Amino acid sequence: MSKFIEYDGKPITMPGAFSGVPMVRYHAQLTDTPSISSSGLRTIWNESPAHYFVESYLNPDREDEGDRPHFSLGRAAHHLLFLGKEGFEKEFVVRPEQWSDWRTKDSKEWRADQIAKGMTIITDAELEHITGMACSLAKHPLVKAGILDGAVERSMVFRHEETGVWLKSRPDCIPNDSGDVADLKSTVSVATDSLRRSLADYGYHMQAALVGMGLKATLGIDMQSFSLVWVEKSQPYACRVTAITPEDLIRGKMQIDVAAKMFAKCIDTGQWPGPGGDQQDAEYLGISPFMAKSIDERLELLKD
The span from the CA of 135 to the CA of 85, in Å, is 13
What pLDDT digit, counting tens, does each position of 175-214 carry?
A: 877 899 999 999 999 999 999 999 999 999 999 999 999 9
pTM as predicted: 0.85
- pLDDT value at residue 64: 64
The span from the CA of 206 to the CA of 38, in Å, is 7
The span from the CA of 135 to the CA of 147, in Å, is 16
The span from the CA of 219 to the CA of 227, in Å, is 19
- pLDDT value at residue 101: 87
Phi, psi (degrees; rounded to nearest 5) at 92: -120, 140
- pLDDT value at residue 159: 98
Mark 22-35 as b/e (b = at least 16 C-beta within 10 Å).
Answer: bbbebbeebbeebb
- pLDDT value at residue 62: 86
Do residues 157 and 30 make contact, with C-beta atoms less than 8 angstroms apart?
yes
DSSP conformation letters of 265-286: HHHHH-----TTTT--S----P
Question: What's the Rg (C-alpha) of the chain?
Answer: 22
Helix (H) or strand (E) holding 234, with range, is none
Do residues 121 and 108 make contact, with C-beta atoms less than 8 angstroms apart?
no
The span from the CA of 208 to the CA of 266, in Å, is 24
- pLDDT value at residue 197: 94
The span from the CA of 255 to the CA of 125, in Å, is 37
CA atoms within 13 A on the CB side of 2: 10
- pLDDT value at residue 1: 42
- pLDDT value at residue 205: 97
Return the ∠ at Cα 135 (arms to 130 and 139), rounded to 5°. 145
Hey, what long-range contacts does 91-100 have (CB within 8 A, 24 or more apart)? 91/23, 91/118, 91/119, 91/120, 92/119, 92/120, 92/121, 92/122, 93/119, 93/120, 93/121, 93/122, 94/121, 94/122, 94/123, 94/124, 94/127, 95/67, 95/121, 95/122, 95/123, 95/124, 97/124
Residues of the chain with pLDDT under 50: 1, 67
Do residues 241 and 147 make contact, with C-beta atoms less than 8 angstroms apart?
yes
Return the ∠ at Cα 217 (arms to 241 and 46), rounded to 5°. 55
Please state the domain extents for the chain.
73-139
DSSP state of 70: T
Helix, strand, or coil (residue 191) = coil
- pLDDT value at residue 67: 47
The span from the CA of 56 to the CA of 71, in Å, is 16
